Amino acid sequence: MTVTIRPVRPGDEADLVDMIRELADFENAAEECTVTEAQLTAALFATPPTAWAHIAEVDGAPAACALWYRTFSTWDGVAGIYLEDLFVRPDFRRLGLARALLATLARECVDAGYTRLQWAVLDWNSNAIALYDAVGGKPQSEWITYRVSGPELSELASSTPY
């Protein structure tokens, strides 16, 4: 078995869309996933990119992916990486691909002088939580994640606070 982890390149968009949709289905949210290849092309290969991604291949087959973007810590004064999605296809689980992708992103952080790699996990995903605990991840239980989207986002954007 040959495992290769590499940054995405043009032509990987279809595989990424497929894996993102598989992840959405796994998370019981397939109907919410509307990403297209064109959107990924624009996000990943623009100058500058909005997001970055890595693919893990097993014997040349796309087996896993990690999509991420840069964050900024005002307290540390430097950038970090936010892992938006990490997905391993079912046939390739338990091969260490998720850990290898996390290690790749950790190297990205260390090499660039970033101070943090962070992500979120669904509270019912016990396998992922076990991995994240095993690699030294620390739950940030004092923080509550918020999101504004859909009609509420439009309503907020059109409000006039002054």
For 38-78, the pLDDT digits (tens) are 999 999 999 999 999 999 999 999 999 999 999 999 999 99
How open is the CA angle 2-92-108, to the nearest 5 degrees?
A: 70
Query: What is the rounded average pLDDT for all residues in the chain?
Result: 96
pLDDT band at 160, cuts 50/70/90?
A: confident
Helix or strand holding residue 153 (H, E):
helix 150-158
Residue 126 confidence (pLDDT) above 90: yes
- Superfamily of domain 3-158, CATH level 4: Gcn5-related N-acetyltransferase (GNAT) (3.40.630.30)
**78-88 and 117-119 as β-strands: parallel, antiparallel, unpaired?**
parallel
| Paired tokens of 150 | 């859909």
Q: Is 85 exposed, middle or buried (0-12, 13-18, 19+ CB in 10 A)?
A: middle
Residue 161 confidence (pLDDT) above 90: no
Instruction: Tell me, letter by letter, the H, E, C secondary structure of 80-131.
Output: EEEEEEEEECHHHCCCCHHHHHHHHHHHHHHHHCCCCEEECCCCCCHHHHHH
How open is the CA angle 38-81-147, to the nearest 5 degrees?
A: 70
Q: Could you give the CA distance from residue 30 to residue 56 in angstroms, rounded to a whole number?
A: 23
77: amino acid identity, one letter? G
Q: Which residues on neighbouring strands pair with residue 52, listed in sequence order? A: 68
Give me the pLDDT at residue 54, please: 98
